[in-house]
Amino acid sequence: MITKQEYEEIKKESLKYIDQAGIVLTKHEANHLEVTDFGLGRVREMGLQLVVYMNTERCCAKELVLLPRQTCPQHLHPPVGNSEGKEETFRCRQGTVYLYVPGPKVEQPQALPPEDRKQYYTAWHEIVLKPGDQYTLLPNTPHWFQSGDEGAVVSEFSTKSTDEHDIFTDPDITRIVEIQES
């Protein structure tokens, strides 16, 4: 649950990050920037802001905005129908992103999820993305990410995006955001 006021505040903040990154949006895109709290009600800790440029049957492009130290919780993109699942490339445009994927566990992670949800995080191989750096994730790869203290803007290039099929490891997560109107 997120209040309408908080939703609008975070939208406004996110648009500032987009603007600082030199990215031009149409008015319609700016108005429709999406804020998600993954149903956890702690959007500044665990949440994500998105602008979907296009999403066809074959490919998709988005800009993602992360507020300072905001975590996008661990999830994966499973096969859907005849598709092997979503492949995605994250390209950092601004700020720093700590991305965690399966592989040798980093000894001292530079990002940590909220302590009370940590049990649901299994990917601990750390990839650090600074502006210009990118990383490609194959389907079915558990991953999560958090921005550094300055927040971040990340371009995502992928195959068709079907958020409703994403599998989150935290059982309390839902991708449908409830906005409290009053």
Residues that bind a copy of itself (CB under 8 A): 21-26, 29, 53-54, 56, 58-61, 87, 89, 91, 93, 131-134, 136, 155, 157-159
Q: How far is the CB of 89 from a copy of itself (least distance, A)?
A: 5
From CA 4, how far away is CA 20, in angstroms rounded? 25
Residue closer to a copy of itself, measured from CB, 86 or 117: 86
Residue 5 or 56 with smaller CB distance to a copy of itself:
56
Q: How many CB atoms lie within 10 A of CB 36?
A: 22
Helix intervals (H) in 39-131: none
Q: Which two tokens stand for residue 47?
A: 């949440």
Reference 1, options 182, 153, 134, 180; nearest CA is 180
CA neighbours within 13 Å on the CB side: how many for 42?
A: 14
Sequence-distant (≥ 6) Cβ neighbours of residue 177 within 8 angstroms: 2, 34, 35, 36, 37, 38, 39
Minimum Å gap between C-beta 61 and a copy of itself is 4
Residue number, 71 or 94, with CB nearest to a copy of itself: 94
Nearer to a copy of itself, 61 or 128 (CB): 61
Closer to a copy of itself at the Cβ: 36 or 159?
159
CA distance 124 to 108: 10
Q: 5: how many CB neighbours lie within 10 A of its CB?
A: 11
Rounded to the nearest whole angstrom, what is the least distance from the CB of residue 25 to a copy of itself in the complex? 5
Shortest distance, CB of residue 19 to a copy of itself, whole angstroms? 10
Q: 44 or 160, CB closer to a copy of itself?
A: 160
> Nearest distance from residue 182's CB to a copy of itself, in Å?
33
Smallest distance from a copy of itself to CB 23, Å: 7
Q: Determine the straight-line distance between the first and last CA of the chain, rounded to whole angstroms.
A: 12
